[in-house]
């Protein structure tokens, strides 16, 4: 009975270590709303962070070439930031300690968007940045969780086999 308590306590400590800090901001999204002001429709971006911010969307005349260069720059910045901000230890240990659930959870988890990185940028840049950041982060999370799964699954199988054999003797 005493060893079961130790296993439960150890498991809770591992879960707290892995998910404790990140449990507060699991899902962050933004949406665009349209409101009629003085008889004219205006668009606003509602960006959810620790508090709500409503930013008025201006519609500048953007040429397709300028939009493409904005998109390329935003995607490049987002991919660089995704690699920089990714917590590799978290996702590797998630895959290692939860071999089957870790990679699935890594695809369901919505990454926290760095809103400070897009302050003062155009709405087009922000849209491309958020889309590219989300895609790149989810891909990296899955790869690291899968790597942890490939390491953790054989170790878990070995430990379960040892535990089963020790209870049979």
Residue for token pair 């917590």: 87
Residue 136 and residue 70 in one domain: yes
- Asked if residue 2 is part of any domain, the answer here is no
Where are the strands (E) in 49-124, listed by range?
Answer: 52-57
Residues 36 and 109 in one domain: no
- Which domain, by its residues, includes 165? 60-169
By the 8 A CB rule, do 104 and 126 touch?
Answer: no
Answering whether pTM is above 0.85, one says no
Domain C-terminal end among 59, 74, 101: 59
Same domain flag for 36 and 110: no
Q: What is the DSSP letter of 20?
A: T
The end-to-end CA distance of the chain, in Å, is 18
Residue among 20, 11, 15 nearest 159 (CA)? 11
111 and 33 housed in the same domain = no
Q: What is the DSSP letter of 58?
A: P
Q: pLDDT tens across 2-26, in order?
A: 667 767 767 766 766 666 555 444 4
50 and 101 fall within a common domain: no
Please tell me the predicted confidence (pLDDT) of residue 80. 92
Say if CB 73 and CB 125 are below 8 A apart.
yes
Residue 48 lies inside a defined structural domain of this protein:
yes
Residue 145 lies in a domain: yes
Residue environment code for 95-110, b if the CB has 16+ CB neighbours within 10 A, otherwise e: bbbbbeebbebbeebe
| Per-residue pLDDT reduced to its tens digit, 124-150 | 889 899 999 999 999 999 999 999 999
For 86-122, where are the alpha helices, taking DSSP H only?
88-97, 101-108
Structure token digits, residue 30 = 């933004």
Pairing of strands 40-48, 30-37: antiparallel
Return d(Cα 130, Cα 123) in angstroms, integer: 11
């Amino acid at each position: 009975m005493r060893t079961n308590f130790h296993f439960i306590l150890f498991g809770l400590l591992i879960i707290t270590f892995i998910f404790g800090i990140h449990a507060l901001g699991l899902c962050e999204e933004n949406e665009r709303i349209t409101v009629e002001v003085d008889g004219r429709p205006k668009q606003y971006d509602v960006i959810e962070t620790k508090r709500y911010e409503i930013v008025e969307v201006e519609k500048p005349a953007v040429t397709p070439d300028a939009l493409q260069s904005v998109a390329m720059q935003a995607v490049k910045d987002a991919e660089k930031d995704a690699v920089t901000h990714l917590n590799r230890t978290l996702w590797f240990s998630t895959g290692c300690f939860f071999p089957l659930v870790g990679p699935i959870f890594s695809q369901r988890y919505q990454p926290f968007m760095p809103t400070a990185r897009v302050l003062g940028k155009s709405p087009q840049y922000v849209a491309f940045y958020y889309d590219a950041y989300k895609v790149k982060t989810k891909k990296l999370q899955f790869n690291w969780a899968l790597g942890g799964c490939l390491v953790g699954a054989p170790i878990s199988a070995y430990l379960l086999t040892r535990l089963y054999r020790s209870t049979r003797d």
